[in-house]
A and B are shown apart, each in its own frame.
Chain A
Amino acid sequence: MTDETLKKLPLDAIHRELGGKMVPFAGYEMPVQYPLGVMKEHLHVREKAGLFDVSHMGQAWLTTKAGPLGTAEAHKAIAETIEQLVPGEIQKLATGRIRYTVLLNEEGGVLDDLMITRPSTEEDQGRLFLVVNAAVKDQDFALIREKLGHIAILDVMEDRALLALQGPLAAEILSTFIPEAESMPFMSSIDTFFDGMPIGLSRCGYTGEDGYELSVPAEEAELVARRLIDHVAVEPIGLGARDSLRLEAGLCLYGHDMDTATSPVEANLNFSIGKRRREEGDFPGAERILKDLKEGTGRLRVGLKPEGRAPAREGTEIQSPDGKTIGTVTSGGFGPTYGGPLAMGYVDAAFAEEGAGVMLIVRGKPVPASVVPTPFVPQRYYRGKK
């Protein structure tokens, strides 16, 4: 892809003004880091708060065509609609709550992972808000239109920015602008105002820290971003630290830690499959996924802790202690908070037990590593007042 075809983010000017190093990512020019650097940006998010521009991600409303909006029946209709493509429990999702689940193909492979929000407002019952990955958003939206277009309308929000404020001080900072932000539980969403401008506010994120995502009209995004960055405790954070933060949090990156050949059970994402959905078995690839749940899978995604200091990057071969190939690293690097190398990858089920010893083949040399639980760094989501 040449530079001319790369899209610019609504906050492109701010990224450059702040000294962001722009690189191509998922069809966009995006800041990989700012002058602070990946390491300090990462640590800043864990200690204070960081602002991420994730406007490259796909945002869309899916609205039922069956009957009037604003009723429990309308929610049921749209939930049943999206449940044709995902294994998550959407019907019983409470108002104003967000669910993480996966978009499946007919073979039970993961086409994408996504966040589905049931609106908090009564008049919007019968609609769902979807946030999907940038790299696959066009194909996700095409699939949704193809499979569900006869019963629902998909409105892709092209003119919408998405900002994430993440870190232990995120709640304190954001509640100076939006008082009700402070008491929102993790994975909840409200329609609210930032400086008088209507925004969608969700308490979620992909760093393992407490935080929020703000869905903002593109033309207003710069104002919101400036107000937040002006706060002394907030630093802008690039893609580099976003990746090391999510890796420490044990969170999957689509296209790396899972793809169309991976079942959500292999990816250790069983929580993305609702209990009722398992009983009813009415999602794409249910046959394979239910079999995987019942009998286990041949391979499984695990966390890996290499001994020593050498990072094992994506693509690194994983061997058993006696030298047989048993898997591949799918994400790997150095965890600034973890204080050492860390990785995720798929191994033969026999080696998926916590504490199992494996070898990572780094530049031709075996590096001993152990299978460890994830997250590598404890998640600190807000679950309500203690």
Chain B
Amino acid sequence: MKKFTEDHEWVSVDGDIATIGITAHAAEQLGDVVFVELPDVGKSFGQKDEMAVVESVKAASDVYAPISGEIVEINNDIVDEPAKVNEDPDGAAWFVKIKLSDASELDKLMDEAAYKEFAK
């Protein structure tokens, strides 16, 4: 099940591992992505901490951690080919995987229907 933040990140949980990316809406608003900066594996973040950076020709935007936890994997494909973020933001262009430290934080996030309404 996917959950969404007001900052246009998505998070998909499998056991205690959460995969995180930015939404199609966010990718479209950004425009052509030319640079992605991801955190190092092993680094820990609190919910809403600045976690990654994504830049288009126009501007730089922060990506915030939707939930607290430790980075266990990063997607170097999008670092090497930032344009992938525009091609498949909901799938192949995930940003990081986090080991959850507090699953209850997920309850504060929106479900897909609520996010669709929010991003209108």
Query: Which residues on A are within 8 Å of B, measured CB to CB?
Result: 32-33, 37-40, 42, 240-241, 243-244, 309-311, 313, 333-334, 336, 341, 363
Q: Is the CB of A334 within 8 A of B31?
A: no
**Most chain A CB within a 10 A radius of its CB, from B34, B35, B37, B53:** B34
Inter-chain CA distance A241–B56, complex, in Å, is 12
Q: Is the CB of B35 within 8 A of A39?
A: no
Inter-chain CA distance A103–B65, complex, in Å, is 48
Nearest-CB residue, chain B, relative to A40: B32
Contact of A311 among B31, B32, B34 (CB under 8 A): B34
Q: Is the CB of B57 within 8 A of A42?
A: yes
Q: Is the CB of B58 within 8 A of A311?
A: no
For the complex with contacts A240-B58, A363-B53, 17 further pairs of A-B residues with Cβ separation under 8 Å are A32-B58, A33-B31, A37-B31, A38-B57, A42-B57, A240-B57, A309-B34, A309-B35, A309-B82, A310-B55, A311-B34, A313-B59, A313-B60, A334-B34, A334-B35, A334-B56, A334-B57
Known contacts A32-B58, A333-B58, A240 near B35 by CB under 8 Å:
no
Scoring B residues 18 to 54 as 1 if CB is less than 8 Å from chain A, else 0, what string do you get?
A: 0000000000000110110100000000000000010
Nearest-CB residue, chain B, relative to A33: B31
Q: Which residues of A contact B55 (CB under 8 A)?
A: 310-311, 334
Nearest-CB distance from B40 to chain A (Å)?
Answer: 12
Q: Which residues of A contact B34 (CB under 8 A)?
A: 39, 309, 311, 334
Inter-chain CA distance A341–B37, complex, in Å, is 14
Nearest-CB distance from A340 to chain B (Å)?
Answer: 9
Q: Which residues of A contact B57 (CB under 8 A)?
A: 38-39, 42, 240-241, 244, 333-334, 336
Q: Which residues of B contact A32 (CB under 8 A)?
A: 58
Inter-chain CA distance A243–B57, complex, in Å, is 10
Q: Which residues of A contact B58 (CB under 8 A)?
A: 32-33, 38, 240, 243, 333
Jot down 11 A-B pairs with beta carbons below 8 A, ordered by A: A33-B31, A33-B58, A37-B31, A38-B56, A42-B57, A240-B58, A309-B35, A310-B37, A310-B55, A334-B56, A341-B35
Inter-chain CA distance A313–B56, complex, in Å, is 11
Nearest-CB distance from A295 to chain B (Å)?
Answer: 38
**Most chain B CB within a 10 A radius of its CB, from A33, A37, A313:** A37
Inter-chain CA distance A38–B57, complex, in Å, is 7
Q: Which residues of B contact A38 (CB under 8 A)?
A: 31-32, 56-58
Nearest-CB residue, chain B, relative to A309: B35
**Most chain A CB within a 10 A radius of its CB, from B31, B56, B57, B60:** B57
Nearest-CB distance from A158 to chain B (Å)?
Answer: 30
**Most chain B CB within a 10 A radius of its CB, from A32, A33, A244:** A33
Nearest-CB residue, chain A, relative to B57: A38
Inter-chain CA distance A37–B82, complex, in Å, is 15
Q: Which residues of B contact A37 (CB under 8 A)?
A: 31-32
Q: Which residues of A contact B53 (CB under 8 A)?
A: 363
* CB neighbors of A among B49-102 (8 A): 53, 55-60, 82
Inter-chain CA distance A179–B82, complex, in Å, is 44
Inter-chain CA distance A240–B34, complex, in Å, is 14
Nearest-CB distance from A33 to chain B (Å)?
Answer: 7
Contact of A240 among B31, B37, B60, B82 (CB under 8 A): B31
Q: Which residues of B contact A240 (CB under 8 A)?
A: 31, 57-58
